[in-house]
Amino acid sequence: MGQVYLEREEEAACVIMCASVKYNIRGPALIPRMKSKHRIYYITLFSIVLLGLIATGMFQFWPHSIESSSDWSVEKRSVRDVPVVRLPADSPIPERGDLSCRMHTCFDVYRCGFNPKNKIKVYIYSLKKYVDDFGVPVSNTISREYNELLTAISDSDYYTDDISRACLFVPSIDVLNQNTLRIKETAQALAQLSRWDRGTNHLLFNMLPGGPPDYNTALDVPRDRALLAGGGFSTWTYRQGYDVSIPVYSPLSAEVELPEKGPGPRRYFLLSSQPAVHPEYREDLEALQARHGEAVLVLDKCTNLSEGVLSVRRRCHKHQVFDYPQVLQEATFCVVLRGARLGQAVLSDVLRAGCVPVVIADSYVLPFSEVLDWKRASVVVPEEKMSEAYSILQSIPQRQIEEMQRQARWFWEAYFQSIKAIALATLQIINDRIYPYAALSYEEWNDPPTVKRGSVSNPLFLPLIPPQSQGFTAIVLTYDRVESLFRVITEVSKVPSLSKLLVVWNNQNKNPPEDSLWPKIRVPLKVVRTAENKLSNRFFPYDEIETEAVLAIDDDIIMLTSDELQFGYEVWREFPDRLVGYPGRLHLWDHEMNKWKYESEWTNEVSMVLTGAAFYHKYFNYLYTYKMPGDIKNWVDAHMNCEDIAMNFLVANVTGKAVIKVTPRKKFKCPECTAIDGLSLDQTHMVERSECINKFASVFGTMPLKVVEHRADPVLYKDDFPEKLKSFPNIGSL
């Protein structure tokens, strides 16, 4: 909404501006004939009029654009003023939860029809206050956290206010804490929701399930088919693939400032900070402390604190007082023991402190375990094995511990730190189930940003040597050098593994020669005419390309021998995820200019190959055309240069691997023609190419090119061995 008003305001500003402009245009015709006194008078008059106009405009439009639209749209209301709904004592109660529910049995997926964004639509029922026949409220109307949660959903992309288009319904009845509600009446309140329909597609959030004395591990409110996002599920109550296990939010997350502390060894190896631990467990913990001394610290609640000190924020060991949660940052491992409930808010505090949780709660389903890999951030110890916990932890190498500390902190930041984070992760999990082909990957859920930045996932990761019989498609980009083109075609057609030849005719003003004039070759030859003379046409993923291997070749490359090309193809088969080319080039860091420099000298290193003749996988054509970062593609087309450098950047960036230069070839021009290129021409060329490298490095945000000092030659190249027995005897020189 706010967006619309902003635009309106701009429009209004334009009206005023346009008006004044129009006045000014008319002005000069009148004013010059007047005396300066009058002129001032009129100008003042018009200014007043104009100011009035601006003021009106401001008055009309200003206030709406600065206020957030929803604040402005809904009159300020109090939670106390929400409508009251009386629930008759005999109103229906839903069935108890159905333990056999799965997405394909209990979830109505037809409500979440196909949509291009692959996002579910979530509707929130409006807030009501439910009372029983005697006017006694059923529960607290709403808690701060549940209000925050609904606000977060409402502000997210998932939200819809159209109940008929919604796929998921979130009741505003707050069931976060089972102890604050009356079970039967809450169930009745759920049952009378307008789209309840046995709870189909309804999502309930609950963090504190069960109540004394037996503390069930799932919400006791009968809810039929509704999905439950619950904190504290056990494997017995958790419906795998249907429910979502969520964390118990720790209010300390918002209350306490806790600066991040990096991973590394800490003062205590193992810490137990929970004040209410069952005596049996406390005995076990204290036995651990007795055995391992200083390295283990077991804290309890403080008994001797003076009035007024928040006991929630203090822990004691004998007479020593510790600040909580700060003390968690002093420990490498922190115990998260089950209480009466399996889910404990302390888990959130522990993760935040970068302390690795040692979860001792049999059958507990860890938060978001459907997507999060808890092995990377926690250690799970069976309750029976508590006495062995210390030795189990001791066997973990330090490097792995630091990795786990980092991971723990990252989980907190991404999925625990606020009610909003919890709500959005829950919806994302459900979204992933409904649109599985658009689901987030394991890496997207689990890899911390530092890993995501450094890692490369090679799109052609499977080690696979394509069969030789497949052959390659040669793509010749040409403008009008027909004679030279025909020579290239004739030469290339001699290569045994060529399976098709594609000529990209980049000249719109001239038709390609008639069919009869083309050289007769043994493989299909196809001419593609382009709409515009662009360099990127060379890297277009033409439907005509049927092989995986593509040979890009210029229409003037006639010096490469058939053996050389065939060998190039063989090398590509062994490195199908790389650019395999002939002359190599290098990028260098220019310390004086503080930028990258293009180098074509004959050095011992290569980081690029020229695509005047290069083999590569046809998938890179798709990437070049559709996934090139930034404006590089257009930039190359506009400058008519550096398409090869762009391709080198793209392939190196996506695969993380270096190019393969084959055979001695250092340049394409025939040796006798080098003199034609003037020195100055050469220099401007070098400057332009250097500019390209700098431009691309800034667009990619990194320098993806890899420098290597090797090239590929045939096994017996220049060996003392009879030439006629060599597979590729005719390898050209520089």
Partner 1 sequence: MQSWRGKSLWLALSASWLLILLRVFPLLRLAVPARPWASAPQGWPRWLDTELLPSFSQPGELPEDAPQPPQAPRGGGCDWGACFDASKCRTGGLKVFVHPVAGPISASHRKILASIESSRYHTASPEEACLLLFLSLEVPAGECSPVPQQWNGGRNHLVLDLHPAPCPQTFQLGRAMVAKASPTVDTFRPGFDVALPLLPEAHPLRGGAPGQLRQHSPHPGVPLLALAEERGGWRTAGTDPSTCPWDGRCEQDRGPEQTHPGGTLPNATFCLIPGHRPDALHFLQALQAGCIPVLLSPRWELPFSEVIDWTKAAIVADERLPFQVLAALQEMPLTRVLALRQQTQFLWDAYFSSVEKVMHTTLEIIQDRIFGASAHASLLWNSPPGALLALPTFSTSLSDFPFYHLQWGSRPVGRFSALIWVGAPGQPPLKLIQAVAGSQNCAQILVLWSSEKPPPSRWPETAVPLTVMDGQRKVSDRFFPHRAISTDAILSLDAHSSVTTSEVDFAFLVWQSFPERMVGFLTWNHFWDEAQGGWGYTAERANEFSMVLTSAAFYHRYYHTLFTHSLPKALRTLADETPTCVDILMNFLVAAVTKLPPIKVPYGKQHFEATPPLVPGGPEPQPTARDCINQMAAGFGYMPLVSSRLRLDPVLFKDPVSVLRKKYRSLEKP
Residues in region 589-628 near partner 1 by CB under 8 A: 602-606, 617-619, 622, 627
| CB nearer to partner 1: pick between 48 and 687 | 48
| Three-state DSSP string of 189-243 | HHHCCCCCHHHCCEEEEECECCCCCCCCCCCCCCCCCCEEEECCCECCCCCCCCC
Distance, in Å, from the CA atom of 47 to the CA atom of 52, rounded to the nearest integer, reads: 8
Omega prior to 467 cis, within 30 of 0: no
Pick from 62, 93, 140, 637: which binds partner 1 (CB under 8 A)?
A: 140
- DSSP code at position 320: E
| CB nearer to partner 1: pick between 488 and 660 | 660
The nearest distance, CB 435 to partner 1, in angstroms, is 8
| CB nearer to partner 1: pick between 88 and 382 | 382
Distance, in Å, from the CA atom of 639 to the CA atom of 569, rounded to the nearest integer, reads: 31
Pick from 307, 709, 723, 724: which binds partner 1 (CB under 8 A)?
A: 709
The nearest distance, CB 507 to partner 1, in angstroms, is 27
> What is the size of the binding site for partner 1 (CB under 8 A)?
189
Binding to partner 1 by CB under 8 A, coded x per residue (else -) over 50-69, reads: x--x--xx--xx--x----x
| CB nearer to partner 1: pick between 529 and 710 | 710
Binding to partner 1 by CB under 8 A, coded x per residue (else -) over 411-450, reads: -----------------------xxxxxx-xx---x----
* Of residues 163-182, those binding partner 1 (CB under 8 A): 174, 176-177, 179-180
Pick from 304, 715, 723, 724: which binds partner 1 (CB under 8 A)?
A: 715
The nearest distance, CB 144 to partner 1, in angstroms, is 4
* Of residues 219-278, those binding partner 1 (CB under 8 A): 235-236, 240-241, 248-251, 274-278
| CB nearer to partner 1: pick between 18 and 673 | 18
Contact in structure between 676 and 597 (CB atoms under 8 Å): no
The nearest distance, CB 654 to partner 1, in angstroms, is 9
Contact in structure between 665 and 560 (CB atoms under 8 Å): yes
Position 530 contacts partner 1 (CB under 8 A): no
Closest Cα partner for 337 from 356, 319, 354, 362? 362
* Of residues 478-507, those binding partner 1 (CB under 8 A): none
Structure tokens at 53: 């106009």
* Residue 618 exposure: Cα atoms within 13 Å on the Cβ side: 16
Part in contact with partner 1 (CB under 8 A); list of ranges 221-229, 453-461, 526-534, 644-652: 453-461
Distance, in Å, from the CA atom of 511 to the CA atom of 616, rounded to the nearest integer, reads: 29
Helix (H, G, I), strand (E, B) or coil at 356: strand
* Of residues 188-217, those binding partner 1 (CB under 8 A): 207-208, 212, 215
Distance, in Å, from the CA atom of 426 to the CA atom of 442, rounded to the nearest integer, reads: 15
Contact in structure between 118 and 440 (CB atoms under 8 Å): no
Binding to partner 1 by CB under 8 A, coded x per residue (else -) over 96-115, reads: ----x-xxx----xx--xx-
Distance, in Å, from the CA atom of 44 to the CA atom of 37, rounded to the nearest integer, reads: 11
The nearest distance, CB 57 to partner 1, in angstroms, is 7
End-to-end CA distance of the chain: 66
Phi then psi for 122, rounded to 5 degrees?
-115, 130
The nearest distance, CB 318 to partner 1, in angstroms, is 19
* Of residues 328-367, those binding partner 1 (CB under 8 A): 339-341, 344-346, 362-363
The nearest distance, CB 124 to partner 1, in angstroms, is 6
Contact in structure between 1 and 73 (CB atoms under 8 Å): yes
* R_g of the chain, CA atoms, integer Å: 36
Widest pairwise Cα distance in the chain: 107
Position 588 contacts partner 1 (CB under 8 A): no
